Amino acid sequence: MTDQDLTLTQKQERFCIEYLATANSREAYRRAYDVAPDTLPSTLSKSAHELMQMPEVKARIVELRAEAAEAAVIDQAQALVELRRVAFSDIRRVMDATGKILIPSELDQETAAAVQSFKIDEYGRIEYKFHDKLGALEKLAKYLGLYEKDNRQRSDPLVELLRSLSGNVVGAVRSWPKMDDDENER
């Protein structure tokens, strides 16, 4: 919470949060305030507009948007880290130097992230199932744009021909009949 929060009422704060959730000031007002079901839409719009004009409300919405954007960047970065862990996982990391299979609590963070599930049978043998490594590699490749060139190569040949001609056509050229040397002398 910031000093900005101190100038807003609880309902104004809720209005700001609901506005970000709905991107609709009238609906945000309806959710944040005790509004009778028969309240006219024009009344809701007017009240919501008045709130949206308050400098404190505007500032809080900007602040909440920045927080949401920062959270989204973190989520994207975390997702990429997890994809990388699966895509570049190494099955040898479930064993110690002697070849003994490690129990799940002994796995390092990178390896544990690549494990989808595990089973321990009645004899204490551990079976690990890993997330789809090829699927993770494909998702990373798409994210990095590695398929763009491949997609262009597989496009419709007619579309490619038209694309190659766009901007390169000067115009129609009139074909002149060929004259023999006798006609040129006249």
**CA 12, chain centre distance (Å):** 30
* Residue 12 and residue 64 in one domain: yes
Of residues 183, 86, 178, the one with CA closest to residue 134: 86
In a domain, 108, yes or no: yes
What tokens were used for 163? 């694309």
Q: Determine whether 29 is exposed, middle or buried from the number of CB atoms within 10 Å of its CB (0-12, 13-18, 19+).
A: buried
Domain count within the chain: 2
* 97 and 46 together in one domain: no
Confidence band for 157, pLDDT divided at 50, 70 and 90: low
Q: Which domain holds residue 111?
A: 90-130
The verdict on residue 20 lying in a domain is yes
Average pLDDT on 14-34 reads 93
* Averaged pLDDT, 107-121: 94
Residue 7 within a domain = yes
The answer as to whether 111 is a domain residue is yes
- Higher-pLDDT residue of 119, 182: 119
- Identify whether residues 20 and 52 lie together within a single domain: yes
Looking up residue 61, the CATH number of its domain turns out to be: 1.10.10
**92-119 burial, b if ≥16 CB within 10 A, otherwise e?**
eebeeeeeeebeeeebeeebbbbbeebe
Percentage of the residues of the chain whose pLDDT score is greater than 90: 58
27 lies in the same domain as 65:
yes
Q: Specify the higher pLDDT residue, 31 or 164.
A: 31
161 part of a folded domain: no
**Statement to judge: residues 20 and 54 lie in one domain:** yes
Task: State the pLDDT at residue 1.
Answer: 47
Structure tokens belonging to residue 174? 């009139």
Residues 14 and 46 in one domain: yes
Contacts of 73 (CB under 8 A, 6+ apart): none
Closest CA to 14 of 35, 31, 39: 31
Residue 37 within a domain: yes
- Residue 40 placed within a domain: yes
Top-confidence range, 21-25, 167-171, 175-179, 180-184: 21-25
Claim to verify: residue 64 and residue 94 sit in the same structural domain: no
Are residues 55 and 8 part of one domain?
yes
Tell me the chain's radius of gyration from C-alpha atoms. Answer: 33
Which structure tokens are listed for 83? 């994809």
Residue 102 placed within a domain: yes
Using the predicted structure, report yes or no on whether residue 5 has a pLDDT greater than 50: no
